[in-house]
């Protein structure tokens, strides 16, 4: 975080927890005074990571000022325009800002929050849009179409076949490793199950892994239903399911690679895109010979049969 954004963050916090978070005349006056070519919108929603933020232009700011003004006038000058909520987690409101000093917190002004959310759609994941929409209420029914676009990726878990999967991220599990890229990791992709939970070995079967070691991570995955297959490179496909390989970044992190029907291996590092190359850009024929640094420790092969796994 830059010093400016820290200041800004502190400012937002004080606004959120200030005596009056609901949009009122004071906020309106501040909003009308905002003036800069590229105001920033921040959706105040996360606790652990930076909030989503994007830029708007002067015309958009103008229409927001107008909307806020009209909405407040039409409300018989009441200070609030939606139900007061006591939510402390998740959606808190939006911030429109030109600088740390010039920023306005928006909450409790339905029409404007609607407008802000619509404008932010393409910067936000579906789950966030749906969360804010649910918070704001049914008024936002036209946001349903965003949801519909991704509906088949929201009905999790989505399991691949018990045969060896094809390497084709656009069709694999309905393309949901792309649509829901940030919510599915190497374990989801390796086991070929879309969970949208960034699944962790062991968690689905009741006890998440404890240590970033081959034995602990291996045992956690076996509890989830993976079957240990030793350390020798498989040559033929298993009777059911497909092969995965476990790698460890010692004491730090884990990684999974899977074998596809073309005989090559592919993987999905964390929330990044699915790929079929290693760090050197080479196709993966023998995972132990590929470069997956910093996941340098190769552990073993396992058989993953999607229908039999408890992955979450
Ligand atoms: C709201 O208050 C403003 C002045 O503060 C006044 O001009 C306006 O007529 C009022 N609107 C309504 C609907 O009462
Ligand atoms: C499970 O743990 C035991 C004991 O630590 C170890 O011998 C075994 O290799 C582990 N299994 C896997 C699949 O790593
Ligand atoms: C690994 O899987 C193959 C194919 O199913 C099987 O023939 C082999 O015996 C397995 N190896 C181990 C060590 O389980």
- Report domain extents, the chain: 3-135, 151-308
Per DSSP, helices labelled H in 45-125 are 58-74, 110-120
Residue-level pLDDT at 1: 44
Cα–Cα dist 72/66, whole Å: 10
Burial readout 150-181 (b: 16 or more C-beta within 10 A, e: otherwise): beebbebbbbbbbebbebebeebbbbbbbbbb
Residue-level pLDDT at 6: 44
In degrees and rounded to multiples of 5, residue 7 shows phi and psi of -60, -45
Instruction: Give this prediction's pTM.
Output: 0.56
Q: Say yes or no: CB of residue 231 within 6 Å of ligand 2.
A: no
How many angstroms separate the Cα of 104 from the Cα of each of 61, 65, 264? 12, 11, 53
What does the block give as tokens for 212? 């970033």
Contact 117, 134 (CB under 8 A): no
Q: Say yes or no: CB of residue 73 within 6 Å of ligand 1.
A: yes
Q: Say yes or no: CB of residue 235 within 6 Å of ligand 3.
A: no
Pairing state between β 297-304 and 242-249:
antiparallel
Q: Say yes or no: CB of residue 228 within 6 Å of ligand 2.
A: yes
Of the bound ligands, which one is closest to the alpha carbon of residue 75?
Answer: 1
Beta strands in the chain, from DSSP E residues, in sequence order? 40-44, 53-55, 93-97, 103-106, 158-159, 193-194, 227-228, 242-249, 253-259, 265-267, 297-304
Cα–Cα dist 102/119, whole Å: 21
Per-residue pLDDT of the chain (312 residues; tens, 9 = 90+): 444 444 444 434 434 443 336 788 888 899 999 999 999 999 988 777 788 999 999 889 998 999 888 877 766 544 444 444 444 457 888 999 999 889 999 888 877 888 898 888 888 888 788 778 877 764 444 444 444 444 578 889 999 999 999 999 988 998 899 989 999 999 999 999 999 999 999 999 999 999 999 999 999 999 999 999 999 999 899 999 999 999 999 889 999 999 999 999 999 998 889 999 999 999 999 999 999 989 999 999 999 999 999 999
Cα–Cα dist 177/160, whole Å: 11
């Amino acid at each position: 975080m830059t010093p400016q954004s820290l200041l800004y963050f502190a400012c937002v916090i004080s606004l959120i927890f200030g005596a009056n978070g609901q949009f009122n005349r004071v906020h309106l006056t501040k909003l009308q005074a905002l003036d800069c070519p590229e105001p920033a919108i921040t959706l105040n929603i996360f606790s652990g990571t930076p909030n989503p933020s994007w830029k708007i232009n002067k015309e958009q700011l103008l229409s927001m000022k107008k909307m806020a003004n009209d909405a407040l006038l039409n409300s018989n000058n009441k200070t609030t325009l939606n139900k007061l909520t006591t939510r402390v987690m998740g959606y808190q409101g939006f911030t429109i800002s030109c600088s740390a000093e010039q920023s306005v917190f928006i909450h409790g002004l339905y029409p404007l929050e609607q407008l802000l959310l619509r404008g932010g759609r393409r910067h936000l994941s579906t789950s966030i849009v749906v969360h804010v929409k649910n918070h704001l209420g049914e008024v936002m029914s036209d946001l349903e179409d965003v949801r519909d676009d991704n509906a088949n990726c929201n009905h999790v878990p989505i399991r691949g076949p018990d045969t060896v999967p094809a390497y084709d991220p656009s069709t694999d599990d309905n393309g949901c490793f792309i649509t829901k890229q940030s919510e599915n990791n190497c374990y989801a992709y390796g086991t070929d199950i879309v969970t949208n939970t960034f699944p962790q070995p062991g968690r689905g079967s009741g006890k998440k892994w404890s240590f970033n070691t081959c034995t602990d991570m291996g045992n956690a995955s076996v509890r989830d239903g993976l079957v240990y297959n030793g350390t020798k490179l498989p040559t033929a496909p298993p009777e059911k399911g497909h092969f995965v390989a476990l790698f460890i970044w010692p004491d730090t992190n884990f990684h999974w690679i899977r074998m596809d029907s073309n005989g090559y291996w592919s993987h999905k590092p964390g929330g990044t895109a699915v790929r079929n190359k290693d760090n050197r850009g080479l196709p993966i024929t023998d995972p132990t010979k590929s470069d997956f640094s910093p996941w340098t420790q190769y552990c073993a092969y396992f058989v993953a049969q999607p229908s039999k796994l408890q992955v979450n």
